[in-house]
């Protein structure tokens, strides 16, 4: 495919960049396959969510400023994380107001609606649901809370998955219930977090799926950590990895 599509700045997110590079790599592969020109502004670091949600707003404000500086020149910003996009779209305005910097408030209001989660970008901007992927495995999808209730991505990820050739997509029971990760919650309330994660893992196993897919590696690593500890024989993949998968280059 030729590069006829839009230019997209990828926001890799610090967590994916450092711990789960497979997801932003697959995002690049997928978007390039769909004809986009992908750029990676190297000055990017972190959206600040971990600081904001732990109560460290003063530490988060400079990261909001940095995010604006790095991305405001781009028409499309795409991240393989519902949670980080949720923080940008839902929390950056509040942080900018806290900073008392009117210019930052305006810049944030201008930029953040253009920051999209992967499935939003592919379905709404590119207008695609069949992305030419091939993944002949039994898969179940967990809609992560921030994708679902902050971004309202709805069934976009499922519409994309349903078009994947060879896939055996099965419903996850109690799908919309939180997996219990919640960032800082998993550390501060570890026992409750594990109680929630164990139930999520049980529902995943009930499906008989071989692969659990979601749009957020933070949640996936939490559930995957429990599934792994149980030697459950279920692996986790980011949505981007399945959508990037082809016969020649399988995930």
Partner 1 sequence: MSTSPADHGAPPTGDVGAGPTAYPDEPAPLQRTSATFLGMPSFQTAAKAALADTQQRRNLAHATATIRGKRAAVVAEVEAWEELRVAGAAAKDEVLHHLPHYLEQLEENLTARGATVHWARDAEEANRIVVGLVQERDADEVVKVKSMATQEIELNEALEAAGIHAWETDLAELIVQLGHDRPSHILVPAIHRNRAEIREIFLREMGEVGRPAPEDLSDEPARLAEAARLHLREKFLRAKVAVSGANFAVADTGTLVVVESEGNGRMCLTLPETLISVVGVEKVLPTFADLGTMLQLLPRSSTGERMNPYTSMWTGVHAGDGPQDVHVVLVDNGRSHVLADPVGRDALRCIRCSACLNVCPVYERAGGHAYGSVYPGPIGAVLNPQLRGTGSDVDKSLPYASSLCGACFEACPVRIDIPALLVHLRTQVVDEASGRSVEALGMKAAAWTFADHRRLEAAQRAATVGGRLLGDRTIRTVPGLGAWAQARDVPTPPKETFRQWWRRTHGDGAGTDGTGTDGTGTDGRTA
For residues 93-122, which are near partner 1 according to CB under 8 A?
Answer: 94
CB of 6 or CB of 157, closer to partner 1: 6
Asked whether position 12 contacts partner 1 by CB under 8 A, the answer is: yes
**Using the rule CB under 8 A, which residue among 5, 6, 16, 160 binds partner 1?**
16
Token reading at 205: 């196993």
Query: Which member of 30, 31, 34, 50 binds partner 1 (CB under 8 A)?
Result: 50
Under DSSP, the state recorded for 101 is -
Q: Does 17 bind partner 1 (CB under 8 A)?
A: yes
CB of 206 to partner 1, least distance (A): 16
For residue 103, give both structure tokens. 């210019």
User: Contact between 244 and partner 1 (CB under 8 A)?
Assistant: no
State yes or no: residue 155 binds partner 1 (CB under 8 A): no
The pair of structure tokens assigned to 198 is: 């164990």
Handedness of CA 166, 172, 178, 180 (dihedral sign): negative
Which listed residue (138, 177, 205, 246) binds partner 1 by CB under 8 A?
177
Residue 58 vs 247, nearer CB to partner 1:
58
- Pick the stretch among 100-108, 135-143, 164-172, 195-203 that binds partner 1 (CB under 8 A): 195-203
Closest CA to 70 of 94, 92, 100: 92
Q: Helices 217-229 and 190-206, interaxial angle, to 10°?
A: 80
Of these, 185, 202, 205, 235, which contacts partner 1 (CB under 8 A)?
185
Q: Which of 146, 156, 203, 238 binds partner 1 (CB under 8 A)?
A: 146
CB nearer partner 1, residue 74 or residue 167:
74
CB 81 within 8 A of CB 116: no
Angle among Cα 45, 62, 68 to the nearest 5 degrees reads 65
Residue owning tokens 């967590």: 15
Both tokens of 221, joined, read 């690593």
Question: Whole-angstrom Cα distance, residue 60 to residue 47?
Answer: 8
Per CB under 8 A, the segment of 87-95, 100-108, 111-119, 125-133 that binds partner 1 is: 87-95
Binder to partner 1 among 92, 137, 203, 222 (CB under 8 A)?
222
Question: Residue 63 class from Cβ within 10 Å (0-12 exposed, 13-18 middle, 19+ buried)?
Answer: buried
By the rule CB under 8 A, 46 interacts with partner 1: yes
């Amino acid at each position: 495919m030729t590069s006829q599509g839009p230019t997209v700045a990828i926001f890799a997110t610090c967590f994916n960049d450092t711990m789960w590079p497979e997801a932003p790599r697959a995002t690049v592969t997928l978007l390039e396959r769909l004809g986009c020109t992908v750029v990676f502004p190297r000055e990017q670091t972190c959206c600040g969510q971990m600081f904001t949600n732990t109560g460290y707003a003063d530490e988060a404000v400079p990261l909001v400023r940095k995010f604006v500086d790095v991305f405001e020149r781009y028409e499309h910003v795409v991240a393989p994380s519902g949670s980080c996009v949720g923080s940008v779209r839902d929390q950056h305005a509040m942080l900018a107001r806290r900073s008392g910097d009117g210019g930052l408030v305006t810049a944030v209001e201008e930029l953040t609606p253009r920051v999209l989660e992967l499935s939003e970008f592919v379905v709404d901007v590119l207008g695609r649901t069949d992305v030419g992927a091939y993944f002949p495995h039994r898969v179940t999808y967990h809609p992560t809370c921030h994708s679902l209730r902050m971004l309202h991505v709805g069934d976009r990820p499922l519409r994309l998955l349903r078009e994947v050739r060879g896939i055996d997509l099965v419903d996850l029971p109690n799908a919309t219930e939180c997996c219990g990760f919640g960032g800082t919650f998993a550390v501060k309330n570890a026992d409750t977090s594990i109680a929630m994660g164990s139930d999520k893992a049980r529902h995943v196993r009930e499906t008989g799926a071989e692969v659990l897919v979601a749009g957020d590696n933070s949640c996936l690593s939490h559930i995957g950590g429990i599934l792994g500890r149980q030697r459950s024989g279920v692996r986790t993949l980011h949505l981007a990895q399945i959508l990037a998968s082809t016969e020649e280059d399988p995930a």
